[in-house]
């Protein structure tokens, strides 16, 4: 359990130490050292999970199974890459005198508190502690969004705080309902919010209360995920926050919020049936996909463009989890990982573009390949991944979700007659319509996204613009992100494949 304790203690210690420092190099050094330490501890945790299946301890407060370990992997990897990028990114603003040392120390304190809260949410064996941890992420990230203290960033931070607070309140009500169902099932003697205990008594839970609880939990945490119609904070927050913060919001926080929904879904699936929670996820998934596809077509701000892309891909993941089964769940899990890699890379590149061009307007950025070749390659790679272009890894996960939707249509091997035949045909027509809708929206996103980004990458840049990359750790983050998207599109390492297979098995109702 030492590695588990290290996952929780390291970011807390690093955060409070950062508050006492006033020089950038020690702050960045402690940040990087902490992220490396977390990744080392994660390796130990993953090894044990792959060997033993589940880690439980600390009086049953900690539960790390394959699903938890997979989410921890995303947190640790994106946290490390974001820290590499942070050094180059903030050094530019520090050298210009835009960031005082005190603000840098507060940034790293909040960043480590953010990391701690996400790790706690992932390893907690209680829906209550999970809720508290996700609420803590709201408090930390509100100040990170408003880091540059502009009027627009202040507005974005307030909007994020208000909407996510309302959402988290709804999630709390759903959590209370889940506890009430536990009280009824055990006559109050062994009432619990512990996930392992809830799964053990799932068949005794009141199905009506559990259904209502999941609606509130899905809407509540769905606000944090950015599912439509709870998404309106996403474009503002993502366009105003510093690039490394947005990478963590889009790549990691959304994933942790999805994890919270999945944990509740597992209880609902066991208590009711997989169809109930799955249908809700499919509805919200298609709604998010469709709305995002439309807004991608009309964007003029490249950071808002990527923000709507996050809404789109969270919708795709929701569809995969809603369909369920081995293929749908595996594809959705893989999509979470791929989205975290691609979206962090996209916002890293967007941060470099904004520094060099001084604008977020798509039409004012031209000839990026001539100005910053590696940044242009990173932006183009992230874009191609986000639109599902093979052989990049998001094509694999998106195709898996689509294939699971198609399999759902033709899964029936029973011949029905009479009115049952009519129902079967109606269902198949409906599901075929979903496939056509999925493909149509994907085509819209493909065309709209590439049209916008191609205009930024190609062409002739303004004559007065400085040309050439400023090499640093930010470029290392670019190379790591591009490499991961290419490698995972060609092959999935054996240990990662095993971890995802175990995660799928964990989420499957037996």
Please report whether residue 32 resides in a domain.
Answer: no
Please report whether residue 156 resides in a domain.
Answer: no
User: Which residue is associated with the tokens 């180059």?
Assistant: 88
Please report whether residue 227 resides in a domain.
Answer: no
Please report whether residue 81 resides in a domain.
Answer: no
Cβ–Cβ contacts within 10 Å for residue 497, how many? Answer: 13
Please report whether residue 313 resides in a domain.
Answer: yes
Report the C-alpha gap between 27 and 33 in whole angstroms. 10
Q: Which domain holds residue 445?
A: 274-510
Asked if residue 453 has a cis previous peptide bond (ω within 30° of 0), the answer is no
Predicted local confidence at residue 99, as pLDDT: 79
Report the C-alpha gap between 404 and 406 in whole angstroms. 5
Please report whether residue 477 resides in a domain.
Answer: yes
**Helices 325-357 & 494-507 angle (0-180, nearest 10):** 120
User: Which residue is associated with the tokens 């835009």?
Assistant: 98
pLDDT tens, residue order, the chain (510 aa): 588 889 999 999 999 999 888 888 899 999 999 999 999 999 999 999 999 888 888 778 899 999 999 999 999 999 999 999 998 888 878 777 677 777 889 999 999 999 999 999 999 999 999 999 999 999 999 999 988 888 888 999 999 999 999 999 999 999 999 999 888 877 766 667 888 888 888 888 889 999 999 999 999 999 999 999 988 899 999 999 999 999 999 999 999 999 999 999 999 999 888 889 998 999 999 999 999 999 999 889 999 999 999 999 999 999 999 998 889 999 999 999 999 999 999 999 999 999 889 889 998 999 998 889 999 999 999 999 999 998 999 999 999 999 888 876 544 433 333 443 344 344 555 567 788 889 999 999 999 889 999 989 988 888 777 787 777 777 889 999 999 999 999 999 999 999 999 999 998 865
Predicted local confidence at residue 510, as pLDDT: 54
Please report whether residue 393 resides in a domain.
Answer: yes
Predicted local confidence at residue 45, as pLDDT: 93
- Counts for the chain of helices (H) and strands (E), in that order: 20, 2
> Does pTM surpass 0.75?
yes
Apex 133 CA angle, 132 and 134, nearest 5? 95
Report the C-alpha gap between 29 and 412 in whole angstroms. 58
Report the C-alpha gap between 161 and 448 in whole angstroms. 31
Apex 254 CA angle, 248 and 257, nearest 5? 130
Total number of domains constituting the chain = 1
Please report whether residue 115 resides in a domain.
Answer: no
Predicted local confidence at residue 423, as pLDDT: 40
Predicted local confidence at residue 509, as pLDDT: 62
Please list, in sequence order, all residues whose beta carbon lies within 8 angstroms of the beta carbon of residue 301, skipping any fewer than 6 positions away: 239, 360, 361, 362
User: Which residue is associated with the tokens 């963590």?
Assistant: 248
Closest CA to 78 of 244, 275, 221: 244
Closest CA to 247 of 323, 350, 158, 327: 350
């Amino acid at each position: 359990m030492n590695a588990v304790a290290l996952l929780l203690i390291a970011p807390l210690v690093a955060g409070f130490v950062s508050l006492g420092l006033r020089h950038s190099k020690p702050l960045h050094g402690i940040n990087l050292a902490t992220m490396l330490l977390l990744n080392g501890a994660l390796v130990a945790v993953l090894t044990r999970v792959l060997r033993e299946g589940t880690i439980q301890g600390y009086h049953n407060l900690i539960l790390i199974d394959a699903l938890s370990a997979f989410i921890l992997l995303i947190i640790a990897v994106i946290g490390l890459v974001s820290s590499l990028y942070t050094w180059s990114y903030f050094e530019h603003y520090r050298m210009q005198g835009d960031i005082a040392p005190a603000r840098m120390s507060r940034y790293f304190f909040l960043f480590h508190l953010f990391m701690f809260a996400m790790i706690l949410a992932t390893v907690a064996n209680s829906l209550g502690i999970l809720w508290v941890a996700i609420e803590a992420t709201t408090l930390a990230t509100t100040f990170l969004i408003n880091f540059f203290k502009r009027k627009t960033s202040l507005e974005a931070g307030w909007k994020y705080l208000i909407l996510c607070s309302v959402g988290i309140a709804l999630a709390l009500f759903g959590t209370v309902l889940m506890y009430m169902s536990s009280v009824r099932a055990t006559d109050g003697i062994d009432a619990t919010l512990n996930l392992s205990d809830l799964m053990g008594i799932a068949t005794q839970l009141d199905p009506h209360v559990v259904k209502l609880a999941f609606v509130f939990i899905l809407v509540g945490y769905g606000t944090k995920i950015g599912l439509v119609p709870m998404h309106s904070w996403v474009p503002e927050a993502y366009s105003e926050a510093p690039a490394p913060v947005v990478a963590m919001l889009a790549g990691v926080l959304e994933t942790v919020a999805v994890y919270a929904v999945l944990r509740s879904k597992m209880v609902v699936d066991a208590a009711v049936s997989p169809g109930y929670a799955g249908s809700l996820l499919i509805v919200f998934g298609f709604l998010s996909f469709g709305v995002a596809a439309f807004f991608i077509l009309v964007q003029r701000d490249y950071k808002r463009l990527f923000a709507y892309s996050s809404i789109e891909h969270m919708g795709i993941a929701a569809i995969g989890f809603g369909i369920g089964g081995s293929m749908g769940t595996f594809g959705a899990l893989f999509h979470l990982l791929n989205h975290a890699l691609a979206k962090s890379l996209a916002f890293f590149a967007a941060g470099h573009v904004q520094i060099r061009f001084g604008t977020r307007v798509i039409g004012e950025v031209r000839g990026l390949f001539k100005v910053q070749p590696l940044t242009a390659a990173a932006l183009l790679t992230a874009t191609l991944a986000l639109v599902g272009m093979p052989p990049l890894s998001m094509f694999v996960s998106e195709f898996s979700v689509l294939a699971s939707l198609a399999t759902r249509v033709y899964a029936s091997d029973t011949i029905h007659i009479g009115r049952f035949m009519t129902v079967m045909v109606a269902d198949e027509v409906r599901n075929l319509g979903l496939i056509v809708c999925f493909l149509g929206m994907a085509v819209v996103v493909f065309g709209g996204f590439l049209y916008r980004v191609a205009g930024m990458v190609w062409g002739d840049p303004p004559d007065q613009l400085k040309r050439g990359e400023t090499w640093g750790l930010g470029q290392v983050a670019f190379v790591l992100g591009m490499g991961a998207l290419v490698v995972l599109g060609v092959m999935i390492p054996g240990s990662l494949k095993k971890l995802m297979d175990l995660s799928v098995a964990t989420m499957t109702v037996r």
